[in-house]
A and B are shown apart, each in its own frame.
Chain A
């Protein structure tokens, strides 16, 4: 709420794009959290392969789900922003847009793979895939810098943020809010999955005892 208030009522309007630039604050924050979720998924995948603890597999799969949902939001908000600012919903020649869709499709395939196996094999394949798929994340991140995109702007580069401090401050607040949303969703999903699994175990025991 604080973040939305700051973005709309405190942060200055962009001289070039006007009010349309307000999409930036959440569009970029969601994109960064999506990539963060994929990073956590890969780390948890590595931890699963090392410890063979199903909890790491659980966290990894939840993070891929959150990352995928956030990526879809990034594509939708990005398309709306593109229509408002460039006059078109999508530009197939832009490397950032295309590589981001590739990342999205790669992670969508994760669930296809996950549903094709069961037990330990499911967890092992998922962990390996989440680590391998993460290779596409830096590709998407650096594509716009390496390929010199003429359409998609580069706001953050090695020289820092290309925006005034008053905008940057509210962007940071939005980013913290999005990380908060990510952690809350992760926690909620973990609680629900563990409760579901505990109930299944009790049910199985009762059925065995009957």
Chain B
């Protein structure tokens, strides 16, 4: 195959691969943030559940 044809198709393939990597990195960041928020919500819920019990124990 002519080297120019290979270069042209290589550029398109490289751009596609680069985009896949970028999408992968962005998805990973979103997943990390979602996990962090889920943990925050769970921790707040746990703190809210624990609070009435400590009130009772104090009485």
Beta-carbon contact of B4 and A20 below 8 Å: yes
Which residues of chain A are within 8 angstroms of B2 by Cβ–Cβ distance?
Answer: 18-20, 84
Q: How far is the CB of A182 from chain B (nearest CB, A)?
A: 12
CB-nearest residue of chain B to A83: B4
- For window 154-210 of chain A, which residues contact chain B by CB distance below 8 Å? 181, 185, 188, 192, 195-196, 199, 202-203, 206, 209-210
A56 at the interface (CB under 8 A from B): no
Question: Provided the pairs A30-B12, A77-B8 are in contact, do residues A199 and B33 lie with their beta carbons within 8 angstroms?
Answer: yes
Task: Tell me, in angstroms, the Cα distance from A4 to B8 when the chains sit together.
Answer: 13
Beta-carbon contact of B4 and A202 below 8 Å: no
CB-nearest residue of chain B to A26: B12
Interface footprint category on B? 20 to 34
A98 at the interface (CB under 8 A from B): no
A residues contacting the other copy or chain, number (CB 8 A): 30
- Tell me the interface secondary structure of chain B in the complex: helix
Cross-interface CB contact of A202 among B15, B26, B27, B37, cutoff 8 Å: B37
Task: Tell me, in angstroms, the Cα distance from A87 to B4 when the chains sit together.
Answer: 11
Task: Tell me, in angstroms, the Cα distance from A161 to B4 when the chains sit together.
Answer: 25
Which residues of chain A are within 8 angstroms of B8 by Cβ–Cβ distance?
Answer: 23, 26-27, 76-77, 80-81
- Which of B's residues lie within 8 Å of A, judged by CB? 1-2, 4-5, 7-9, 11-12, 15-16, 19, 23, 26-27, 30, 33-34, 37, 40-41, 44
- Which of A's residues lie within 8 Å of B, judged by CB? 4, 8, 18-20, 22-23, 26-27, 30, 69, 73, 76-77, 80-81, 83-84, 181, 185, 188, 192, 195-196, 199, 202-203, 206, 209-210
